[in-house]
Amino acid sequence: MSAETTTLLLDSYLKALKLPAVARAYPAMAREAAEKNLGYAEFLKALLEQEVLQREQNQLARRLKAAQFPWQKTLDDFEFSAVPALNKHKVLSLADGKFIRERENAVLIGNPGVGKTHLAVGLGRAACQAGYRVAFRPVPGLVNELLAAQHEYRLNALLKRLRAYDLVICDEFGYIPFSTEGAQLLFQFFSERYERGSVLVTTNLDFARWTEVFGDERMTAALLDRLTHRGHVLLVEGESYRLRESLRRQRGGQSG
């Protein structure tokens, strides 16, 4: 059999087996294996490693896209020095994904601009890299999504779809008040996930003020009980990042 025929057959087989990374890599890797006198098993292992790595990268890209993060922030980008009261070790321990495996929750509490969303996105991206399915939802948008689904008689389908995520990040809870129906639907969403999947909530309100959002003390108490049961609460206290950046730009302009 000629070399050309062999190449055509290999390409056909690899296409049928859906091994595109192997198809791209094998000509160069075959030459390298011949030059280094590698055995068949070593050559095959190196080829399959390329396929596995490519598939892992593709899957990660799909998880990141599905998460709908607002920006590409990571924990490496976060200025922990600007919020010295924040337990950095606790944040990094959450990044390993154990709380997601154990279906626990996390709540980040702090004033606007201190980096809660940055931390949430960083933890979400770390979860995606660890293989977890993540969804990022600003709470006002999530409530509107739940209301629309309720009015269109597809609430159960939406809750089922959200239940498929290992972690749902609920950003900016407490910034906008809800209608009674919206608050009840948000409570239902959290209840649906209790011990089924994790949620990570960022909020500018301490727990004593959550009744202002839900308007019902008993419902609020029940929600907090579910969220904090075996949950993790982190206080993010510091100067507003956006304020620091604004002052820094102003100082730079004045010095010029």
List, run by run, the mean pLDDT of 10-residue segments along the chain (256 residues): 76 85 86 86 87 92 97 93 90 96 96 93 97 97 97 96 97 88 94 93 94 88 89 84 51 51
Q: Where in the chain is the domain with CATH 3.40.50.300?
A: 75-243
Q: Closest Cα to residue 158, out of 125, 188, 131? A: 188
In angstroms, what CA-CA distances link 58 with 23, 26, 28, 47, 219? 16, 19, 22, 17, 42
- Note the pLDDT of residue 27: 85
- Note the pLDDT of residue 86: 92
Prediction pTM value: 0.83
- Note the pLDDT of residue 14: 85
| Helix, strand, or coil (residue 108) | strand
- Note the pLDDT of residue 156: 95
- pLDDT tens by residue, 2-22: 777 877 888 888 888 888 888
CATH number for the domain running over 75-243: 3.40.50.300
**Number of neighbours of residue 53 by Cβ within 10 angstroms:** 11
